[in-house]
Amino acid sequence: MDFSYDDEQNALRDAVKGLVGKQYADWEKRRQTAAEDPGFDEKLWTQMAEMGLLGLPFSEDDGGVGAGPVEIGIVCRELGRVLAPEPYLGSVVYAGGLVAAVGTPEQRQEILGALSGGESVLAFAHDEPGHRWGPEAHDVTADGEGRLTGVKDGVLHGARADVLVVSAVLPDGGTGLFLVTDGGGERTGYSTPDGGRAARITFDSTPATPLGAAAADVTSSIATVQDITRIMAANQALGAMQTQLKATVDYLKSRKQFGVTLNTFQALNFRAADMYTSQELTHSLVDWATMVVAAGDPTKVADAAARVGLQVSRAGRHVGQEAIQLHGGIAMTAEYNVGTFTAHLTALDHLLGDAGHHLRTLDAQLTSYDAIDPLDVAATA
Amino acid sequence: MQLALSEEDQQFREEMRSYFTTKVSEEIRTTVAEGRELTREQIVQSMQELNAGGLAVPHWPEEWGGRGWSELKRHIWHEEMQAACVPVPLAFNASMIGPVIAQFGTDEQKQEFLPKTANLDIWWSQGFSEPDAGSDLASLRTTAVLDGDDWVVNGQKTWTTLGQYGDWIFTLVRTDPEVKKQAGISMLLIDMKSEGLEVRPIELIDGGHEVNEVWFTDVRVPAKNMVGEVNSGWTQAKFLLGNERVGVAPVGATKRVLARAKEVAAATIAEDPLFRARIVELENELLALELTALRVAAHSAGGEPHPASSVLKLKGTELQQAVSELVVDLGGPATLASGEGDATLAWYRRSTPTYLNLRKASIYGGSNEIQRQIISRGILGL
């Protein structure tokens, strides 16, 4: 058992930090990038491709690098640390993960090869108005000829995406996946509260190609990719929390009120200590869940995703809210970054399920075991 | 990063599990499982059963019974012990004075005390706190004045846990009132049968007798019973309190109580979604804490404690208290009764005293406010 990165993983972290951290060390630059279409830096996206980051999760046969979840987690954590707006989570981890899980060999090579090379952005069009989280499609339907009808909303980078992976109810029931290319669907792009990008997409007998050999019910594959994405989102959230705590500590040490620095006041220091406690407990669970993905059992990945989701939701709100309160009014401004980090934590919290959602999942299995053994997960590795 | 235990650690875990469940008296383990109070004899017996297998003081220097284990092995030992309902070795002996004597004691003190301390042939009590010296330990006022070959001790100690069972007491005494308060303190080992030493019980909110006052009136202590040099006691105290923070998060025991609650209160839990939600939250927080303990243990090879270790006492005691609170709430009116009943009712009847008793957990061993101070000042640099 080992919770530390090896030399190669440390080198990867340093490289990502060098590239992305440098780019967004200047908060004003991040704000400008997020404000202009497509909401991220295409040049940086290309550099990430050149560094091999976009192909990390995919096999070499599919044009990727064939790295593991720990490496993907490292990238997500570093992106979260600087609030990089590049669509890594939505495009590579989420939509790319589905293509890798369900696509035919030809589809995987073509789509994942282009994604890994930075030539193509993917988006998973799944959430629908009026429905909360889950792996199923509800009101978007596929007819027998693979034409899609219905509305998707909150599609991360849906306006910019070259390839849409779309979930839809199949004629015989169940949820299938389809590819929509060539700008298909009527797309309305907008900014999310954390300065990200998403879109509402309307399909009206829009032509689509089944992802995979046939339009089979792939609900369980979607569920597993969602679980992995939750765990990678948790890595991203942890990076954001680490930055917020550091910023808060620096602020308490430097900001003067009543003629003294704020860290003269024990009440404030104790609240920072509680933020640290939240952050460290989260760090442990995030590392654990990432290692559970590496072990590979989907049932255990689902359990770990719910557990890390619950923890990150609670801790993210705690750290995010306290970071603003301890900074005072300055954190309310867009010019200062702390508030936007809280907005990002809030967005991640609602992307794939908040604390209540995960609590219900865990509640359903509560009586099936007596106590949790976190090392038991490794037995299947 | 790798979640699986190495083959060696896995095998070690199984050895521990097997020893604890077969070599420690079943009656004692049942007493722990049912949350009943252990007698002095049971505590002595279980420590001796551990010592027979070399499992009572594994973190001591090897020549005195230590095992030279990694931090991870020590963690596994501690968790498996709690999971098997085996009482952990008496802290006053195993974690507190034993390591201090091994580190600072004379050869004569080591020969005299360490084997008996490991085997609980001597039951040690702790004489640190005083009525005006709790978290601010250096303010202590009990005096020791040299008279010939003896120190003459006068003063009062308090919160002496299980002092009624004690054979010897390790104390901090003021040997120089003129210098900075930390610099005038020494450590003395005192036979509790000495003339002038009196133990007076303090009744607690749970109705139990767990702590005591210890009064010293002209108690004569041979000079050879001082640990370390005169006025060096603060060094020994810091060493001891540093050890006390190791293994402070009773994750295994708290998990066990929560699992037992699910079993005992199955019917109540099945009917009440709010209880289920509380249990899910507690299980998740305990998981995060256990993983943090593992992270700290796996990372402690270099000797420097992992910063996250400060979280363990703080969060560990909060969760221990929260689980005891859940148990009282699950019992509801059944917790009002006292006396004997069937096993389930008896469990509930002990739940309020346990809940009340555990309020101490966030006070002792460096109060949780002191832990927050350590985190904010020592780790965050505030």
Rounded-to-integer distance, Cα A237 and Cα A56, Å: 20
Residue A214 buriedness (CB in 10 A; 0-12 / 13-18 / 19+) = exposed
Which residues on A lie below 8 Å from B255 (Cβ)? 371-372
pLDDT tens-digit map of A353-370: 999 999 999 999 999 999
pLDDT tens-digit map of A277-297: 999 999 999 999 999 999 999
Of residues B1, B262, B291, nearest to A2 (C-beta): B1
Cross-chain Cβ contact B1/A70 below 8 Å:
yes
What's the average model confidence in pLDDT over B153-176? 97
DSSP string, B282-321: HHHHHHHHHHHHHHHHHTGGGSSPPTTHHHHHHHHHHHHH
Minimal CA separation from B146 to chain A, in Å: 42
Instruction: Provide the Cα torsion A155, A161, A167, A170; round to 10°.
Output: 140
Closest-CA residue of chain B to A306: B284
Cross-chain Cβ contact B298/A1 below 8 Å:
yes
Rounded-to-integer distance, Cα A157 and Cα A121, Å: 8
Query: What's the pLDDT at A380?
Result: 43
Minimal CA separation from B285 to chain A, in Å: 8
pLDDT tens-digit map of A307-355: 999 999 999 999 999 999 999 999 999 999 999 999 999 999 999 999 9
User: Please, which residues bridge with residue A103 across strands?
Assistant: none
Query: What's the pLDDT at B300?
Result: 64
pLDDT tens-digit map of B170-213: 999 999 999 999 999 999 999 999 999 999 999 999 988 999 99
Say yes or no: do domains B124-231 and B248-378 share a fold: no
Rounded-to-integer distance, Cα B338 and Cα A249, Å: 50
Rounded-to-integer distance, Cα B247 and Cα B300, Å: 13
Quick one: pLDDT band at residue B342, thresholds 50, 70, 90? confident
Cross-chain Cβ contact A277/B285 below 8 Å:
no
Query: What's the pLDDT at A228?
Result: 98
For helices A338-351 and A219-254, the axis angle rounded to 10 degrees is 160
pLDDT of B302 > 70? The answer is no
CA distances from B24 to A352, B36, B250 (A): 48, 17, 20
**3 state DSSP class of A180:** strand
Query: What's the pLDDT at B157?
Result: 97
Query: What's the pLDDT at B249?
Result: 79
Catalytic residues of B: 244
Quick one: pLDDT band at residue A381, thresholds 50, 70, 90? very low
Cross-chain Cβ contact A273/B279 below 8 Å:
no
Domain ranges (residues) in chain B: 7-89, 124-231, 248-378
pLDDT of A258 > 80? The answer is yes
Query: What's the pLDDT at B297?
Result: 87
Rounded-to-integer distance, Cα B309 and Cα B111, Å: 33
Cross-chain Cβ contact B1/A291 below 8 Å:
yes
Question: Token pair for residue B103?
Answer: 């580190």
pLDDT of B354 > 70? The answer is yes
Cross-chain Cβ contact A366/B279 below 8 Å:
yes
User: Which single residue is written with the structure tokens 């590049």?
Assistant: A86
A185 close to A164: Cβ distance less than 8 angstroms: yes
DSSP string, A144-157: TTSEEEEEEEEEET
pLDDT of B11 > 90? The answer is yes
Quick one: pLDDT band at residue A109, thresholds 50, 70, 90? very high
Beta carbons within 10 angstroms of residue A43's beta carbon: 10
Q: Where are the beta strands (DSSP E) in B148-267?
A: 150-157, 168-174, 185-191, 197-202, 211-222, 226-227
B303 close to B248: Cβ distance less than 8 angstroms: no
Closest-CA residue of chain B to A265: B382
B326 close to B261: Cβ distance less than 8 angstroms: yes
Question: Token pair for residue B287?
Answer: 């998981």
CA-based nearest residue to A272, from A292, A293, A246, A296: A246
pLDDT of B341 > 80? The answer is no
Beta-carbon contacts of B274 under 8 Å, excluding residues fewer than 6 positions away, are none
- In CATH, what number does B124-231 get? 2.40.110.10
Beta-carbon contacts of A47 under 8 Å, excluding residues fewer than 6 positions away, are A19
A9 close to A71: Cβ distance less than 8 angstroms: yes
Cross-chain Cβ contact B1/A287 below 8 Å:
yes
- Torsions phi, psi for A253 (to 5 deg): -80, -20
Rounded-to-integer distance, Cα A214 and Cα A93, Å: 23
How many CB pairs below 8 A link A and B? 158
Of residues B9, B258, B308, nearest to A280 (C-beta): B308
Which residues on A lie below 8 Å from B4 (Cβ)? 1, 295, 375, 378-379, 381
The complex scores an ipTM of 0.96
Rounded-to-integer distance, Cα A362 and Cα A117, Å: 39
What's the average model confidence in pLDDT over A95-108? 98
Which residues on B lie below 8 Å from A282 (Cβ)? 288
pLDDT of B64 > 90? The answer is yes
A1 close to B6: Cβ distance less than 8 angstroms: yes
Q: Which residue did the predictor score with more confidence, B65 or B248?
A: B65
In our burial notation (b when 16+ CB lie closer than 10 A, e otherwise), range A238-275 reads bbbbbbbbebbbebbeeeeeeeeebbeeeebbbbbbbb
pLDDT of A212 > 70? The answer is yes
Query: What's the pLDDT at A378?
Result: 53
Query: What's the pLDDT at B303?
Result: 60
Query: What's the pLDDT at B246?
Result: 59
Rounded-to-integer distance, Cα A348 and Cα A314, Å: 12
Tell the CATH topology of B248-378: Butyryl-CoA Dehydrogenase, subunit A; domain 3 (1.20.140)
